[in-house]
Amino acid sequence: MSTLSIVIPCLNEAAAIQRLLACLQPARTWGAELIVVDGGSHDETVQLAEQLVDRVLITAAGRAHQMNAGAAASNGDVLWFLHADSVVENSFPEVILSVMGAVDVSWGRFDVTLAGRSPLFRIIEFMMNWRSRLTGIVTGDQGIFIRRKLFEQAGGFPEIPLMEDIQFSARLRKRCWPTALHHRVVTSTRRWEQSGILRTILLMWRLRLAFFFGADPEQLAQRYR
């Protein structure tokens, strides 16, 4: 039976972190390992997480760097990377281990539901899930899970300031196609709602297109911020 380590990179997520960690407490009772990797929060993220996880790591900021550090410190045969502003069902850790019991499954992801109520979000999430199935490209919002051996063979997440999930999944896709689960991770829409839904869509399209044509990820990250 495989063992599971859940790695959650954080930066100033005090408003959201306890909600996600509460979802994952049942998994800890049967041995799943829960690791939060904080990138230097100025709020109470670390204090709120400490009593609900097996380990809190403090590292330099950078989601890819934080996830790689969490993976290096973990013990599980299977790694599951979650964004701190996600919400998952209690059963998801067991779903992952059940799926990974198949010989031909090496990595995968969940479908995503956007938390906002606007009808536009229903269209966006449909397109995100459909596009991922079509292309084999996975975003961090979809909760990437992967066998440790494959993660290490692929060299972990590329430590770039943006699009690390896109580049990582493109690298993995050359080895094997991801398993796409219909179970849904709920992800925050706070950026969409703060910046405007259509404006955020256009920004992300421009950034991805620029990344595809070789733009510097650091410059893209500055535009994103």
Q: Quick: pLDDT tens for 93-139.
A: 999 999 998 878 999 999 999 999 999 999 999 999 999 999 999 99
Position 74 scores a pLDDT of 98
Q: CA-CA-CA-CA torsion for 152, 50, 194, 224, nearest 10 degrees?
A: -30
Q: How far apart are CA 27 and CA 157, in angstroms?
A: 25
In a domain, 224, yes or no: no
pLDDT for residue 197: 75
- Residue 71: phi and psi, rounded to 5, are -65, -40
Residue at 81 is within a domain: yes
Residue 157 lies in a domain: yes
Residue labelled with tokens 């995503």 = 112
- Look at residue 70 in the predicted model and tell me its pLDDT: 98
Q: What is the CATH number of the domain that holds 81?
A: 3.90.550.10
| Strands of 107-114's sheet in order across | 55-58, 33-38, 4-10, 78-81, 145-147, 107-114, 179-187, 86-87
Q: Is 204 inside a domain boundary?
A: no
Tell whether 49 is covered by a domain: yes
CB-count exposure of residue 102 (10 Å: 0-12, 13-18, 19+)? exposed
Model pLDDT, residue 191:
78
Q: The whole model's pTM is what?
A: 0.92
In a domain, 69, yes or no: yes
| Measured distance CA(6)–CA(52) in Å, rounded | 12
Give residue-wise pLDDT tens across range 132-190: 999 999 999 999 999 999 999 999 999 988 889 989 999 999 999 999 999 999 999 88
Q: Please tell me the total count of domains within the chain.
A: 1
In a domain, 208, yes or no: no
Structure tokens at 120: 């536009």
Rounded to the nearest angstrom, the gap between the alpha carbon of residue 127 and the centroid of all alpha carbons in its chain is: 18
Domain that holds residue 36: 4-193
